Structure 1
Amino acid sequence: MKNRKNKAGVSPAGPAEVPAPASVSDASLMEDPFIHLLLLICLCFASYWNSMAVPFTFDDFPYLCENPLIRSLSFFSGSLPPDSAFTNIDLKYNFILRPVAYFTFTLNYLAGGMQPGSYHLVNLLIHLGSTLLVYLLVRSLLILARQTGKDEKSLSFISFFTAAIFAVHPVQTQAVTYIVQRFTSLAAFLYLLTIFLYLRYRSSGSSALRAVYFLAALASAVCAMKTKEIAFTLPFVLLMVEFLFLEGSRRKRILGLLPFLLTMLIIPLNVAELSAQSSQSGSVLMNGTNLVNFKNVSPADYAITQLRVLMTYLRLLIFPVNLNIDYDYPLYTSLFDRIILLSLAGNLLLFGGGIWLLKLSYGETVHRLHLRIAAFGILWYFTALSVESSIIPLDDLIFEHRLYLPSVGFLLSAVTGADLLRQSLPRRTPAVAGAICLILIVFSMATIRRNSDWKNIWQDAVEKSPNKARPWNNLGDALMKGGNPVQAITSFKKALDLQPDYADAWMNLGTAYIDAGEYDKALEVLHSVLRKNPLDFHALNSVGVAYANQGEIEKAVGFFEKSNAVNPAYDTARTNLERARRELGLGGYSPPIPEIGVRSLE
């Protein structure tokens, strides 16, 4: 009787169970899944142990440190405060759209307050979970798509080295070490978990277990959609998994996928609901999801620029050097720019190569499974990038954390190619494995080094983007928080030299002058801010602080009152107003509790 072939052209295996630890008699130690999992755990902790000492930075402050919504679980069960209660309405919109991630931040806060080490530990555990899921997912996919008992070396080689490189690749540091980017790493974890559970659902022989795995996969998909918008592409990847590697009645398979396809409605419906509630047209799309900015970048220009960004991402995956939290990246506006045409050709070559490999995998070749896996990895890469690197303009043209999920597909294709090389040159198998092990060592060392950079990330950024204003502003922010206002003044001035209309840098410069005790200079700067925007409640409050420290309490009270009137939710102005009024009766003035006056441009 002939063996029935599956979609990859080979006989389907049984359930994709993770095998028990192998004995010396039936497999070498290095093909033992249990050993693989232990090694992956060691690689993750060895590469990220020094991230525990990295302080909060950048968007960690508005979204975590200064966010009242993560300080109580009650916000998850009850109604949120009205918009007027927020100094930054983005906090509310983000909370509504990404509650799963915020729930983990709340648990972090309730367990350990605002100690960054505990947040880093959770981020590391999420990354470890994603690494193990990459291993289990790839292994399960290979078991389902190959003939039972055939080529154990390929099974171990592809699954282990794909997961291992994912674990230690330096480009992942922005999604792991940058605390607030738990949005990205947790969404990726749930994305991977959904696919793994779906494979278990499709491979299980028990009806009860199939139901459990199906419901668990669906719940994981919903949670991913409520963690970050990159999960929108998850149903497309499930479609690829189903129709590239699995079998069954087309009708039953589509019906099984239908609930997952329906989860794609979650994100647009949430955004539409918030938009309907917003009194300012478009504000939710801009502030709530950070998917659209309404500044000066058109969807066409953004899409053109992303052609070049995609090539930069490819370079970062292959040669992860000069990593940068804030790239000074040019905006391209012409499709016929030489560098854009070359980038377009490069992207078409890679994508077309994936389609070509997919076509070859349906032919008569002994490497059909490898070709199918490599093609799937390339398609995964482009699919996972499509939300943030297509026609929807983001506030930033490029960010390294956007590679976290797409890198799984790229690495799967690359390692599959390396395994094909190993099979083609059997005498060179140790050399191929040794080369990848060398890559693991180099990448691990680079990740440890990059984590050290994160301890003073804005100093690193100004060295790599010296002509961009935001890194200088945020370096000043970090210096202010570190108690160095004089050095911060120099950074803010540099930011203003590069971008004279940089409102936040002007505001921060005024605050730095206050902290340095140069009140006259502070007032000069802050009054210029108010001439441009008389309703800037931060500036109104800071003018009050400057006057109060000069002993002019009555003037200070007037500005505190104006700040409080403009934004009653701004607690700092209200606290300063109460203290100033008390001081008027005492005839003296004690400097107010230091305000959170320095702002990073998000």
Structure 2
Amino acid sequence: MKLTKTQKKFVKKNIRKKSLRDISKNLNIPLEDLGIHIKETWGKEKFNDLESPRDILRPQSIKYNKKLVFVFLAFLVFVCYLNSLGNDFVSDDIPIISANSQINNISYIFGPLIFNIRNTVIFLTNKLFGLDPMYFRLPNILLHLGVSYLLFILAAELVSETVGLITAIVFAVHPLAVEAVAWISGGPYVFTAFLILLMLYFYLKNKKLLSLLMFFASVNILIHSAPLGLLPFAFETSRGTLKKNWKRTVPYIVVIASIIPISITLAKQRAESLHLEHYQEKTLMSPLLQIPTAVGEYLKLMFFPKDLTLYHTEISFSPVSFSLHFFVFMCVVLLLFFLYKKSRPLIFWPLLFLIALSATLTPFGISWIVAERYSYFASAGIFVLVAWTMEKTIKKLSKENYPKALYLSLAIIIIPLSIRTIVRNRDWRSHDTLWIATAKFSPSSPQNHNNLGDYYGRHKQYEKAIEEFKKAIELKPGYADAYHNLANVYGETGDIENAIENYQNAIKYNQNLWQSYQNLGAIYFNSGDKEKAKKYLKKALELNPENKNLKGIVDTL
């Protein structure tokens, strides 16, 4: 509807004094008509300067009761993750929690910068409930609900309520999130996602100090969440308001810059740890190869969450695979350009996807090329675009039955994703179920063959255990842990000669493996060679001086 001459004069007189919503109410005209008039009269750039375009000209959306949305999301999260509550401590949970005496000390609550919220939760959980894995996992699940609801709030605010609802539902039930949610050690990714969304929420509400505090708390939990401080910058860029509001983004950039030295130090420590403890060579990987491959794989897992595994070792770098990954990556780049030109506010979401992954896409070999937990928050950016496309498509195809078509579409999405999530939770039930499930999709992982060897050894299937440990060594020559475990199995079966040989190989490749020295000492002691026994046991004690049992044995020799 065209504005009258009188209405146009009123707009011109009050445009700097009142909000666009107030003007539309004063004139009793639709907000969309007012927005069209301003764009036609003063141009798009001027229009963007006056008020964020998220409030103008966006498609009308169904209004949802926020309390009911929260209850529905809580129901979905509860249904999807109920069967994970009884899962054991697995993999990194052992050294981080169940075998970590430090969680009893108050000093544990401090992170690389200062107070660490997640460590505080672990400390308090241990004090209140002891080492029961259910209570350590519960915060992950509750915060996953919080992340899902905050996504609804933010996407509803920035795009539409329907887009917010679809995004939150898909995020809540998607099986790609299981590694971060059901695995206790994946918790930092859930905690940081929650804090970063609070950072954005407070940023939109112009609560600067609270927003910065959320960002700082996030970085102190997971230091490679630092690039997410660029999200306010990305937001202002997407709204065309960066020129006006750039000063608001500066504090986040300052925080990022201030922790760069700490990040470099931690990255060096991580690289050294991977080399010494996990026998990983110090190599550089070409970003031109790594980034398109990782982005392509993450998108595949988001749209086809079938091959879910702890170790993504089956990524192919063949010319055909790389060409496909590169094509997908270029589609993402072209999407950014298209959205910038045609629908700039939406560009924020693919930028969120890329920024959230950026710290894990470094060429220094300190992170996996692909790990499902890395994509926990990043996936939200893609899900918003999917939700926006769904809303547009359903409205276009089902104008008269839009609500029914929308709810039917959601049901079609929710059911298979929820089932896959519930099934994936079962993979994380125990060490045994995890390693067997991982073997299906990671047959070339030396770590998993080593883990399978441990599984078969504990179940007295020694021939299979030996086979798995040998396979691990074949895939990773110099794998000291696998040599040590192979020696253990030979010792169990009475093959002392092979046990000694493999313990010797273990300490050849890892001179800090005190357990191998200890076991060699035990073998020589049992064979009557006390001199050799004392030599190896003293070396074991030298490497592990806090071991009281070992000290007692050495003192008696």
What range describes the TM-score normalised by the shorter chain of this pair? 0.7 to 0.9
User: Aligned ranges for residues 468-483 of structure 1 at < 5 Å?
Assistant: 468-478=445-455
In the TM superposition, what whole-angstrom CA distance separates every residue of 1:562-601 from its partner, at most 9, and x where no partner exists? 11123435x2xx422314645x6xxxxxxxxxxxxxxxxx
Counterpart selection for 2:124 from 89, 94, 107:
107
- How far apart, in 2, do the equivalents of 1:308 and 1:473 lie? 27
- What is the 5 A alignment of 1:36-185? 36-76=69-109, 99-142=116-159, 155-185=160-190
Give the drift of 1:339: 3.1
Structure 1 counterpart of 2:400, from 393, 404, 427: 427
Question: Which residue is 1:359 aligned to?
Answer: 341
Structure 1 residue 32: Cα displacement:
1.4
1:328 alignment counterpart: 313
CA gap 1:351/1:436 in 2 versus in 1, 3 angstroms = farther
Instruction: Note the C-alpha offset of 1:482.
Output: 7.3
Q: Secondary structure at the match of 2:221?
A: coil
Structure 1 CA distance for aligned equivalents of residues 513 and 355 of structure 2: 42
Alignment check: 8 A CA contact 1:513 1:519 kept = yes
Instruction: Name the SS of the counterpart of 2:428 in structure 1.
Output: helix
Letter of the structure 1 residue corresponding to residue 330 of structure 2: L
Question: Structure 1 CA distance, aligned partners of 2:275 and 2:212?
Answer: 23
2:542 corresponds in structure 1 to: 565
- Decide which of 494, 507, 510 is 1:530's aligned counterpart: 507
Partner in structure 1 of residue 377 of structure 2? 405
Q: Deviations over 1:278-302 (max 9, x none)?
A: xxxx445544999x997253231x5
Equivalences for residues 180-259 of structure 1 within 5 A: 180-201=185-206, 213-245=207-239, 250=243, 253-259=245-251
**Retained in 2: the 8 A contact 1:305–1:331?**
no
**Structure 1 pair 105/553, CA: closer, same or farther in 2 (3 Å)?**
farther
Does structure 2 retain, via aligned residues, the 8 Å contact 1:135–1:160? yes
| TM-score, normalisation: structure 1 | 0.75
1:464 aligns with 2:410: no
CA contact (8 A) 1:380 1:406 kept: yes
| Cα distance in 2 for residues equivalent to 1:33 and 1:404 | 24
Partner SS for 1:309: helix
The separation in 1 between residues aligned to 2:453 and 2:115, in whole angstroms, is 30
Q: Pairwise mapping of residues 267-416 of structure 1 onto structure 2 (< 5 A)?
A: 267-272=259-264, 282-283=268-269, 286-287=272-273, 295=281, 297-300=283-286, 303-330=288-315, 332=317, 337-361=319-343, 372-373=345-346, 375-416=347-388
Going from structure 1 to structure 2, the CA distance change for 1:103 and 1:351 (only over 3 Å counts) comes to same
- Going from structure 1 to structure 2, the CA distance change for 1:578 and 1:516 (only over 3 Å counts) comes to farther
2-side partners of 1:531 and 1:232: how far apart?
39
> Structure 1 pair 303/454, CA: closer, same or farther in 2 (3 Å)?
farther
Q: Decide whether aligned partners of structure 1 residues 511 and 532 sit closer, same or farther in structure 2, where only a CA change above 3 A counts.
A: same
Counterparts in 2 of 1:529 and 1:69: CA distance versus 1, 3 Å:
same
Partner of 1:7: 48
Structure 2 residue identity aligned to 1:578: G
- Report the residue type matching 1:427 in the other structure: E
Does the 8 Å contact 1:293/1:393 carry over to 2? no
Instruction: Provide the residue aligned with 1:260 in structure 2.
Output: 252
Q: What letter matches 2:201 in structure 1?
A: F
> How many angstroms does 1:536 deviate by?
3.5
**Quick one: distance in 2 between partners of 1:577 and 1:360?**
72
The CA distance in 2 between the partners of 1:294 and 1:500, in whole Å, is 11
Instruction: Please give the alpha-carbon distance, in whole angstroms, between the structure 2 residues aligned to 1:445 and 1:399.
Output: 21
How far does the alpha carbon of each residue in 1:55-78 deviate from its partner, in whole angstroms, 9 at most, with x for none?
22222223333333322113457x
- State whether residues 293 and 395 of structure 1, in contact with CA within 8 Å, keep that contact through their aligned partners in structure 2: no
Which amino acid is the alignment partner of residue 268 of structure 1?
Answer: I
Amino acid at match of 1:298: L
* Structure-2 change in CA distance of 1:64 and 1:481 (3 Å): farther
Aligned counterparts of 2:50 and 2:314: Cα–Cα separation in 1: 45
Further displaced range: 177-186 or 421-430: 421-430
* Contact 2:274 2:280 survives alignment (8 Å): no
Aligned length: 505
**How far apart, in 2, do the equivalents of 1:427 and 1:297 lie?**
59
Instruction: State the shift of 1:392 in Å.
Output: 4.4
- Matching residue's letter, 2:155: V
| 1:444 match | 418
Q: Which amino acid aligns with 1:48?
A: Y
Instruction: Letter of the 2:188 partner, please give it.
Output: F
The 3-state SS of whatever aligns with 1:427 is coil
Residue 45 (structure 1) shift? 1.0
- Report if aligned partners of 1:44, 1:168 keep a CA contact under 8 Å in 2: yes
- Report the counterpart of residue 600 of structure 1 in structure 2: none
Alignment of 1:481-560 (within 5 A): 488-514=465-491, 519-532=496-509, 536-548=513-525, 555-560=532-537
> Which string of whole-angstrom CA distances, capped at 9 and with x for unpartnered residues, describes residues 513-534 of structure 1?
4456655543332133335555
- The CA deviation at 1:402 is 1.2
8 A contact 2:108–2:119 mirrored in 1? no
Could you say if the C-alpha distance between residues 12 and 232 of structure 1 is closer, same or farther in structure 2, counting changes exceeding 3 Å? same
1:467 Cα shift?
Answer: 3.0
Q: CA deviation at 1:156?
A: 3.0
* Alignment check: 8 A CA contact 1:187 1:230 kept: no
Which residue identity does 1:346 align to in structure 2?
Answer: V
Distance in 2, Cα, partners of 1:443 & 1:270: 39
1:158 maps to amino acid: V
Deviations 1:85-117 (A, max 9, x none): xxxxxxxxx867994433332223223332211
Classify 1:106/1:517 alpha carbon distance in 2 versus 1 (closer, same or farther; 3 Å): farther
Distance 2:115 2:463 in 1: 38
Q: Deviations over 1:415-462 (max 9, x none)?
A: 011111122221352334312221111101110000011221111111
Amino acid at match of 2:411: C
> Please, which runs of 5 or more residues in structure 2 have no aligned partner?
1-9, 21-34, 36-46, 56-60
- Specify whether residues 385 and 528 from structure 1 end up closer, same or farther in structure 2 by C-alpha distance, changes over 3 A only: closer
Q: CA deviation at 1:350?
A: 2.1
The alpha-carbon distance between structure 1 residues 433 and 488, as it changes in their structure 2 partners (threshold 3 A), is same
SS class of match (2:259): helix
Residues 522 and 235 (structure 1), Cα distance of their counterparts in 2 relative to 1, 3 Å cut: same
CA apart distance, 1:553:
6.2
Give the 3-state SS of the residue equivalent to 2:88 in structure 1: coil
Per the alignment, do residues 404 and 273 of structure 1 end up closer, same or farther by CA in structure 2, a change over 3 Å counting?
closer
Q: Distance in 1 between matches of 2:339 and 2:129?
A: 50
For the residues of structure 1 that align with 2:129 and 2:491, how far apart are their CA atoms?
Answer: 32
SS at match of 1:264: helix
Kindly indicate whether the alpha-carbon contact (under 8 Å) linking 1:293 and 1:394 is maintained by their aligned counterparts in 2. no
Q: Look up the equivalent residue of 2:308 and give its one-letter code.
A: L
Code of the aligned partner of 1:297: T
Tell me by how many angstroms 1:360 deviates: 1.1
